[in-house]
Amino acid sequence: MQLRHVLLPLARSANQLYLESKRTKSSAYTLERLQIMFIGILGTGQVAQTLARALSDAGHQISLGSRDPQSKTFEFPVLPLAEAVATADVVINATLGSGSLETLTSIGADAFAGKIVLDVANANTPAFDLLYPNSSLGEQLQAALPGAKIVKTMNTASMAVITDPSALGPSSVFVSGEDAGAKAIATSILTDLGWPADSVVDLGDIRSARGVEHYFLLFAALMQAKRSPMFNIQVTQ
């Protein structure tokens, strides 16, 4: 059996668990805790939709970006990619990782000047090999979009865990990037999703993104071994 035939149904199952959990939990956020932002999520797949619902529950204003917005009907506005970038305080790349570089560069580097871009994608082939074995998607995006403030984050666990960390015991999530302010915003968004501040590990500059992206190989092996995507790792010291 090919690995993707095992992993993809498990990932879809995790997203369904997230949606069911949100039906039974209230969203208690105060203005003191939450800085409301306009967040443009590039992509309309399961990862994008799951993240959109969670961030909307946290009080943020959400739009989705698509190459073909007229064909999409969701509970959030679906805009052309360039418009989703232009109207956002923070952009999240939730496009398919293997095509992310092409998709974002097609929008134009100038569109991303000064923008905080959270890259949550993993770039792998259909056979689940790394697309950038000697680099990372985060690094490639930063090089192609030099005016953007790329932060690699949210790619080391299933989106069901990322958007509801209380589903597990204490665990860790990571940020990598060149800009300290952008990483602070990323940490704030993670906090809004329920991550304690001390669970967010700053790995350093964007070169460190290759560490969390290459972890995908271990993640895939663990998901196959556990027959579930509902797990995460914790950094202890």
CATH code: domain of residue 60 = 3.40.50.720
- 10, with CB counted inside 10 A (0-12, 13-18, 19+), is middle
The residues, any chain, with a CB within 8 Å of residue 47's CB and separated by 6 or more, are 94, 120, 121, 159
Sheet architecture: strand order including 116-119: 78-80, 61-66, 38-42, 90-93, 116-119, 149-153, 173-177, 200-204
Instruction: Reply yes or no on whether the pLDDT at 98 is more than 80.
Output: yes
Q: How many domains does the chain have?
A: 1
| Distances 116 to 147, 153, 183, 223, 231 between C-alpha atoms, Å | 10, 12, 9, 31, 28
Range of the domain at 139: 34-120+127-216
**139 assigned to some structural domain:** yes
| Tens-place pLDDT, residues 133-144 | 999 999 999 999
| Tens-place pLDDT, residues 149-189 | 999 999 999 999 999 999 999 999 999 999 999 999 999 99
**9 assigned to some structural domain:** no
The whole-angstrom distance between residue 3's C-alpha and the CA centroid of its chain comes to 22
**109 assigned to some structural domain:** yes
Which three-class secondary structure state does DSSP give residue 31? coil
Instruction: Reply yes or no on whether the pLDDT at 194 is more than 80.
Output: yes
pLDDT at residue 186 in the model? 98
**29 assigned to some structural domain:** no
Task: State the pLDDT confidence band at 35, using cuts at 50, 70 and 90.
Answer: confident
**199 assigned to some structural domain:** yes
Q: Which residues of 65-80 are buried (b: 16+ CB within 10 A; e: fewer)?
A: bbeebeeeeeebbbbe
**10 assigned to some structural domain:** no
Beta partners for residue 64, in sequence order: 41, 78
**7 assigned to some structural domain:** no
Residue whose structure tokens are 């329920």: 194
**What is the distance between the alpha carbons of residues 60 and 41, in angstroms, rounded to a whole number?**
12
**101 assigned to some structural domain:** yes
HSE (CB half, 13 Å, CA atoms) of 235?
Answer: 11
| Distances 221 to 3, 60, 84, 129 between C-alpha atoms, Å | 9, 34, 35, 12
Strands 90-93 and 38-42: parallel
